[in-house]
Amino acid sequence: MSHPCHLGSLSATHVILTSLPPWLFLCAPATPVETRPIVRFGVISDPQYADADPRPEHLRYYRNSLAKLDDAIEVLNGEDLSFVVTLGDLIDRDWESFGPVLAAYEKLRHESVLLPGNHDFSVAPEHLAAVHTRLGMPAPFHHFAKGGIRFVVIDGSEESLFSTAPGDPRHERAKMRLAELEAGGAINAMRWNGGIGEAQFQWLEAVLAQAADDGEKVVVMGHYPLCPQNEHNMWNGERLTALFAGSGNVIAYLCGHNHVGNLGRDGSTWYVNFKGMVDTPSENTFAVVEIHADRIEIIGHGREESRFLPL
């Protein structure tokens, strides 16, 4: 059973350098092997672009996201990265919004991993089935390896009220799930959240099991938070946190959706919720993530916090 999700300790063990002999510093390499990350990648979350007037009362500055994306991409292009992931909500609304925001990503020199959030489905019904293709995704949920780390992209919008049209079985399951959550007084019983279906859960379970057999650590990435408890969390997120705790090899789950950001730990898994880019007139937010054998380091830019997360 999964342990209650909580904020993790960020303390680190410090070495007293004055106790070491002076000659050691002369012989030490400039970049010790243990300081080199296994993999480095960039993270952007919730640009939520639209050609629309700002709504300061809701902290939404839709048009400004293009300039912030350009600035973030310029910085990330100067980094040595394996890829850059955007954790959903590239647009706020309208199919036409994808054109300008995806054009910004054409300037990125790194591999781009995109996944949809709830706002990416705020398009005309005839475009709903094409959202994943528009984002260049190989499949709505998929996985890949970098540096011996298994990265898994999940689709938390699979069963939702916005990603499918009425009459679709997934839409009907979403209505039933939301009704059950509302009846139970769940904090995340919100129409702008979603959940994953049974087939996707079984797929995820199999991917984690295979990774464990192969001795791989896993990083899962999605739009909706899972933990700590929050009104933005995926509808059936507790099932995923229990799965991660049971598998023992999921070192981190990365998400957006909750624009103020968040951090938690459950078992051996860190849950990192990155801040939303759309929320300010000009101040940016994005990050570089380094995975080391014994820790995850997050180098925050702008409003995004830098973190040291021991494994």
Please list the pLDDT of the chain residue by residue as tens digits (311 residues). 444 565 543 333 223 223 333 333 333 344 444 589 999 999 999 999 999 999 998 899 999 999 999 999 999 999 999 999 999 999 999 999 999 999 999 999 999 999 999 999 999 999 999 999 999 999 999 999 999 999 999 999 999 999 999 999 999 999 999 999 999 999 999 999 999 999 999 999 999 999 999 999 999 999 999 999 999 999 999 999 999 999 999 999 999 999 999 999 999 999 999 999 999 999 999 999 999 999 999 999 999 999 999 99
What's the confidence (pLDDT) of residue 8?
A: 43
For 71, phi and psi rounded to 5 degrees? -65, -45
The topology under which CATH files domain 35-310 is: Purple Acid Phosphatase; chain A, domain 2 (3.60.21)
* Residue 48 falls in which region: left (phi positive, over 0), alpha (psi -120 to 50) or beta: left
What's the confidence (pLDDT) of residue 130?
A: 98
113 CA to centre of own chain: 11
Asked whether 117 and 223 are in contact (CB, 8 A), the reply is yes
Residues 6+ positions from 113 with CB-CB distance below 8 Å: 83, 84, 85, 86, 151, 153, 221
Instruction: Quickly count: other Cβ atoms within 10 Å of residue 260's Cβ.
Output: 12
What's the confidence (pLDDT) of residue 35?
A: 81
Provide the token pair at 206: 């199999």
Task: Give the E-state strand segments of the chain in sequence order.
Answer: 39-44, 84-86, 112-114, 142-146, 149-153, 217-221, 250-255, 262-266, 269-273, 285-291, 295-302, 307-310
DSSP string covering 49-101, please? B-SS--BGGGTB-TTTHHHHHHHHHHHHHTS--S-EEE-S-SBSS-GGGHHHH
Instruction: Quickly count: other Cβ atoms within 10 Å of residue 50's Cβ.
Output: 21
Asked whether 142 and 132 are in contact (CB, 8 A), the reply is no
| Alpha-carbon distances, residue 306 vs 8, 15, 133, 224 (angstroms) | 15, 21, 33, 21
Provide the token pair at 197: 């279906």
What's the confidence (pLDDT) of residue 7?
A: 59
What's the confidence (pLDDT) of residue 57?
A: 86
For 99, phi and psi rounded to 5 degrees? -55, -60
